[in-house]
Structures are given as C-alpha cells and as structure tokens.
Amino acid sequence: MRVVLYTGKGGVGKTTTAAATAACAAARGRRVLALSADPAHSLGDVLGERLGPEPRRVAASEVRGRPLVLDACEVDARAEMERHWGAVRDWLVAIFRYQGIEETVAEELALLPGAEELSALLAVEAFAKGGAYDLVVVDCAPTGSTLRLLALPELARSAFRVVLRMQQAIASVVTPLARGLLAVPLPDAAVFGDADALFYKRLRDLRRLVTGPRTSARLVVTPERMVIDEALRAHTDLALFEVPCDAVVMNRMLPDDATREAFFRDWSRVQTERLEEVEARFAPLPVLRAPLREDEVVGVAALARHGAELFGRRDPGAVLQTGPRLRFVRDDEGLRLELPLPHAEPRGLEVSKRDDELWIATGAQRRSLKLPRTLARASLRAARLAAGTLVVRFEAARP
Amino acid sequence: MRVLLFTGKGGVGKTTHTLATALGAAAHGHRVCVLSADPAHSLGDALGRPVGARAVQVAPGVVAREVNAQEELDRSWTEIHRWLRALLREGADELVAEEVLVFPGLEELVALRAVREAEATGEFDVCIVDCAPTGATLRMLRFPDALRIFMENFFELERRGARLLRPLVARTQAGRLLPREEFFDAVERLYGEVEDVRQILLDETRTSARLVVNPARVVVDETRRSFAYLCLYGVATDAVIVNRVLPPEAARGWFARWAAKERAELAEIEASFPVPLLHAPLQPSEVRGEPALRALAEALYAERDPADRFAEARPFRFVRTGGRTRLEIDLPGARKEELEVGVRGDELFIRVRDASRRVALPASLAGRAVARVRLAEGVLRIEFEP
C-alpha cells in the first residue's frame, strides 16, 4: 500500500496532477483512491463529479471499455469527527476534564482549530490501512496548510503535554479535596494515564504514516519564480518533518508551438532557464514534465492520458527516488545525528536540546524531535549544516 | 479605515493584485498598510525585496508586513506567556517555552489581531490583506465562531475550577501550576479583541473582499463557491478581479483556440457574480517589482480609486416587512440540496455545502421556530414564526 501526497503553491495544478496520477495508476490495473484533503475541495471539479466523505467509484472509470478501480472522496471534518467520536470524546474528557462533552456535538468540534488537519490524517490512515486500495493519492492544500497538516501530530503532542501536565498536577493534589466542591466531577489519575496512552499512541501512528517508507510527497511547480521559491522552502520543511519527497512535477510548460508566438518570447526564454534551475536544485529527484494544455484536463479519460504523458514508462505508484533519511551515527568523536535539510540556510537555523527532545527551527517551521534514550542525558555540542545535511553532535553525559 | 481582503483559489494572482492595489491606492493619496496573512508569505517574492514580520515601508505611502505567529507571541500576551513559562520552568529554556505556544488556530488569531492593530494606530486609511488561499481564508473568517465555542464550553469551566481550587492549593505543587486570574483576564481580553475585528469585517461599509479569478473552469467553479461562503459569513465582496486575460495580440497561432475557450469562460464569469468585474490582461513577462505592479494597477483601475467601494450590497441581512423579520443571505449559484438550516436555542445553524455557521439571533427572534426556508434567484430567505 502506497500513499502519495501532492503539494505546492496554490494554482500550480496539484489537483489535476493528483487526479491524473490516480487515473493513470488505475488504468494500469491498480486499485486506487484519490482523496482531497484541501478544505477548498476541487477534486470533484476535475473528476467531473460530486464527491462526499465516503469513497465512491468514479462513474466514468473505464478506459477502452475496461472498468477501473478508481474511487474518490473529500475529507469532511464533521463526518470524520463523527466517525472517530469515541476517541475524540475520551481525549477531551481527559484534557479538559470536561464531562459535559455529550452535549457538545461533533459538528462544533469540527470547527475548532486543528480539526481539519486531524481529520485529514485520520482519513488517510483509515483508507491506507483498510486494504481496499494499492495506492492512495492525496490532493493536499497549498504548501502552508500542508505543512501544518504534517506537523500536527508533533505539535499536538507538545501542546497537549502542557495541558495534561497542568491537569494531572491539579488532579493528583487536589482531587480528593475538590470532589465535593466542584460541580464538575474530576477524573482520577488513572483516566489521565489511559488518555495519555491513547492520545500519544494515535499521534505516533499518524506520524509514522506520514514519514514511513511507503509514503512520498511530490512537489508540483510551474516555471514561475514565486512558485519555485515556495517549492524550495517546502522541500526543506518536508525534510525537517522527515516526509520523504520522491519527485518534482514541472507543470504548464509552454509547448513548442506556443513558444514561437511573439508575445510569449520572454515567457519561453524564462521557462527554459527555470526548468534547468529546477532540475539542478532538486537533483537527484526526477523532474516530471507536463505541458500547458489548451483544454482543461477534466474527466477520467483525459486525466489518464495526462498521467501517461507525465509518467511515461514510470509506475505512478512507485517510490520514484529514495534519499538519505534521519540517522544516528557513532564515530570516534561520539554520537551524531544527521538530518538531510535540502536548500536550508544557516541563517535562521536554530538547534537546542531539552531533556530527550531536540528542537530544530528553519525559518518558518520548527519541530521537536524525540531523541533515543542514550542521548536523553547527553548535552548538545555542535550543530552545523554541510552539503544540505544538518549534523548535530552530542557530548555523552558523564557517569 | 477601509479593509480590503484579497482572496481566491491558489495561484490566481492574489499577492500581485494586493500589491498593485496598494500602490494604486497610495497614488490616490491614501496611507496604506499591506498585511500578508498567508503563512506561505510571498509579498517579498512579488516585490523582489524582503518583507518581514516588522512593518517596513515598501513604496511611498505603503507599509507592508508579513504576519508571523511566533513574532507576535514574543511581543504580546505577557500573561499567557508568563503562565506557560512557569509551567515549563524546570529545565525549560526560553526557546522551548515559546515553541510550545504555537498552537493550532494561532495563525488565524494573529492575522485577525493585525487588522485591529492597523486600525488602532490611526496611521492608515486603507488596510489591504493578502489572504491565504480560499480554504484557509474561510478558516480565518470562521475563527471568531470557533473561539466562541471554546469560550462557552471550556473556558468558563476552567476559570470556575481555578477560582475554587486556588485557596486550597496555594502552597502546593499544583498551586504554582494553576493559572492565575490574570491569565483568564488575558484570554478574555483576547476574545474581546477578536470580536472587535469581527465587527470590522462584517461591516460592509468598511470591509470588502475582492476575489481574484482566472478564466479557467476549475478556478471559476471554486470561486463561485467562495463567493457564497463569504456571503454566509457576512463578508461583502465588492469586485471580482479577472486576472490573466489573453490580450488580443497574444491570441494568435497556438493560442487562437485558447482565446475562443477563454471567451466562453469570461461569459460564465460575467453570469456568475453579481458584482463589478475588473479585468487584468496577461502581462508579457512575470509581474515582479514596483514598476510592473504599478503598470498592473493602471490596467486594473485606470482613473478609479482602488479603495472605493465598488458595490453596495449587504450579503447577510435581517429584513423587516409587515411586522415580520426574515433573514436574507445572497447565495448565488447555491443549490437547494446543499443547504441545511436549523434552530438550536437562540442560535440559527446554517450550512452551505462545506461551510457552516452558527448565528446568534437578535432578541426579537430568539426562540422562534423557522417558518419557511426559500432559495430563489440566488437569495436564501429564512422566515420565522411570528
């Protein structure tokens, strides 16, 4: 089972590329689900169908008379909150010691910040594990929101740790005294333990899903300066969260016939330069190319053709490129951590350590990375960027 | 102060038009503040010079800043900050205490506060916001509602609990961890500020949304939905900017058929939006830097003042006729099967496709049942029992 996530600046053609990947893979015999995780859903527009939160077979899914296994759905925070109501309720009870939760409806919770991202992750996980599909293609929201989505499991862990810590301290000291005083019943310590385990385990599972070996992100770009700049930043940020990228799609290349038009002379000169730049800077990732089309690519047949042109003999569902991952290395100087961070600038990079967590910030994004037990007591010695890799050295704790 | 919100599907040219409009408004003598509320900031990319979290003058009469949640936390909310720092005190260095504070929803909160702040300085006539693509923008507009749910369901409970517990735990470990009354006051103040911004955004004489669209089917479809969602949230759109229209000299050779298709899309756009359309032609090269942006403003607004109100409509209104009050919402293009309307206590719940809103009913309508819901000619009319 494979998960492929498409992201990039708004308007570059993510949805079309995601749908074309799904249609092409289905035409080649895979069982495919196309899932829209962008709250401004447009997957249905491209497929020419109304979609809902439950996957449904795309009506026109056949190519040359052969039926395809091509399903599609749009994540809906409300539906997802209802689906996972039991777990969500348990978390809230523990976190806010809020027993009146029954009166709050899933629909209201779906409005709370973070709910959309959580819903999308839960949905991808459910379908990825369900076994009904060989490939799940996710049409993500534009770059900024996608990073929020991928960072959510860790972010939530930090935020809720604070709240839980407070609640736990209060409960352990105060509960015996306060039970009689408060109208609201306070849960005892055991409930915290349960919720803690439940919550962390779920988040860890979600995080494993997005960083696992069967998940890849693909960046979609067009030959425009602003678009490429944003994709370079996104590539760094995805690497920071250990989400592997396996390809770049260069979309909307002016075809040769078009580049001969006088009005487009400057546009075509620029696009040649940009293509070379993208190939050089994202190397060794393959750069798949798709031409600007005079017809909008709508409908399964057109999408499958578009996908065939994009991938050629490549398998749309394959891992198109593997690169180095986060690793811990031991040498004469002790232990070091190596995290690939392509295009990262030393300026704006911050690294610090607290207990068993390493905090890394790259300009706009930051994450906390849980260190292995052996490093929990070690101190931070040096951090530097070398050839697109962050190397962090530790000083072993003195016995 | 006028507020202009630029939004639309990703990649249509929101940032470019935000800046072109800012330069155009400044040329009409307005003092302009440009805010980027898109976490993937690109004001700097479009200007060809860096813009950061601190306001910088980018042209005569134009100040710009990219709203940054982290930066904002460093500057304000000392109370909330102090409490969280205390909570993390053992072994926590400053950095970590701050990282933890970047919670979901913060970006929306910070963007909304930035608008209020621009108004409070009294230094600006126009505030132009480069919003995130549609989905995230709607999330920002919905934020005040989400905050209200939090305040009503969780906040009061926490506050009451803390008040009761404080005397009991004053000298214990938990006493230190219990938020102080000032913390709750700070959260409440914050809530008040968000409410202030909501009032600004819902006032159609002050705030207008401008939707940027390209003549392409998928873009038009999404923008039509966004238009309806903005109406549902009570934000008035006063113009739709049609960007990247092929100029006649470009519509030749390979692009001749393209131009024919585009004409069909332009007709579709014309029929879809009940507000004025402003056209911007595709430029002969990338629009980047001040001269190119000024040329675009010229093409878009000509002699008109970009800060003017281009349409008078009020999309969300209570109308009183014959002693009965009804609620009217402009929802062009909406279909009956996409709507859901219900009353819960003194609140009205309205859902249009993917967007929903809970509206507090005026006192005169509280507790009344919905008598009739009708969708005709792009207007949703909700009538109440007398």
Nearest CA in chain B to A154: B100
Per-residue pLDDT, averaged over B252-262, amounts to 87
* d(C-alpha A20, C-alpha B182), whole Å: 55
Q: Do A359 and B102 touch (CB under 8 A)?
A: no
What pLDDT score does B380 carry? 95
Q: Give B45's contacts in chain A (Cβ within 8 Å).
A: 225-226, 229-230
Give the dihedral sign, CA B285/B36/A292/A235.
positive
Q: Do B91 and A354 touch (CB under 8 A)?
A: yes
What are A332's two structure tokens? 């004469």
* d(C-alpha A98, C-alpha A114), whole Å: 19
Is the pLDDT higher at B328 or at A157? B328
At CA B15, angle to CA B13 and CA B19, rounded to 5? 115
Q: Per-residue pLDDT for B5 more than 80?
A: yes
pLDDT, one tens digit per residue, over B330-347 is 998 889 998 999 887 778
pLDDT, one tens digit per residue, over B349-383 is 898 887 888 888 888 887 788 899 999 999 999 99
Q: Chunk chain A into consecutive blocks of 10 residues (it has 399) and report each block's average pLDDT, rounded to whole numbers.
A: 91 93 95 90 90 89 80 87 68 53 55 71 88 94 72 65 57 48 48 57 79 93 90 91 94 88 88 95 95 85 95 96 90 88 88 83 78 84 91 80
Nearest C-alpha of chain B: how many angstroms from A27? 24
What pLDDT score does B97 carry? 43
Is the pLDDT higher at B78 or at A26? A26
Is the pLDDT higher at B226 or at B152? B226
What pLDDT score does A262 carry? 86
Q: Per-residue pLDDT for B2 more than 90?
A: yes
What pLDDT score does A118 carry? 77
B235: closest CA among B313, B124, B130, B310?
B313
* ipTM for the whole complex: 0.73
Q: Do A294 and B38 touch (CB under 8 A)?
A: no
Per-residue pLDDT, averaged over B284-290, amounts to 89
Nearest CA in chain A to B256: A294
What pLDDT score does B76 carry? 64
For testing the chain B interface, which of A36, A38, A252, A263 should be mutated: the one with the most B CBs within 10 Å? A263
* d(C-alpha B309, C-alpha B228), whole Å: 19
A216: closest CA among A185, A186, A249?
A249
What pLDDT score does A93 carry? 59
Q: Do A257 and B253 touch (CB under 8 A)?
A: yes
Confidence class for position B124, pLDDT limits 50, 70, 90 = very high
pLDDT, one tens digit per residue, over B163-199 is 776 776 666 655 666 667 777 787 788 788 888 888 8
Q: Per-residue pLDDT for B17 more than 70?
A: yes
- Of B88, B173, B285, which is closest to A169 when you measure between CB atoms? B173
What pLDDT score does B73 carry? 67
**Helix, strand or coil, per DSSP, at residue B223:** helix
Give the dihedral sign, CA A196/A199/A203/A204.
positive
Nearest C-alpha of chain A: how many angstroms from B40? 5
What are B186's two structure tokens? 């700070």
Q: Give A11's contacts in chain B (Cβ within 8 Å).
A: 9-12, 214, 219
- Of B9, B138, B149, which is closest to A112 when you measure between CB atoms? B149
Strand A365-370 to B2-8 pairing: unpaired
Tally A–B CB contacts below 8 A.
Answer: 224
* d(C-alpha B17, C-alpha A276), whole Å: 29
Asked if A306 and A220 touch (Cβ cutoff 8 Å), the reply is no
Asked if B356 and B329 touch (Cβ cutoff 8 Å), the reply is no
Q: Do A368 and B15 touch (CB under 8 A)?
A: no
DSSP helix, strand, coil percent of chain B (3-state; round to 5): 45, 25, 30
Q: Give B221's contacts in chain A (Cβ within 8 Å).
A: 42, 45
Q: Do B139 and A116 touch (CB under 8 A)?
A: yes
Phi, psi for A36 (deg, rounded to 5): -95, 120
B65: closest CA among B102, B113, B28?
B113
pLDDT, one tens digit per residue, over B191-250 is 888 888 888 999 999 999 999 999 988 889 889 999 999 999 999 999 999 999 999 888
What pLDDT score does B69 carry? 74
Nearest C-alpha of chain A: how many angstroms from B200? 22
At CA A21, angle to CA A18 and CA A23, rounded to 5? 110
Strand partners, A218: A6, A247
Report the b/e string of B40-57 with b at 16+ CB within 10 A.
Answer: bbbbbbbbeeebebebee
What pLDDT score does A259 carry? 85
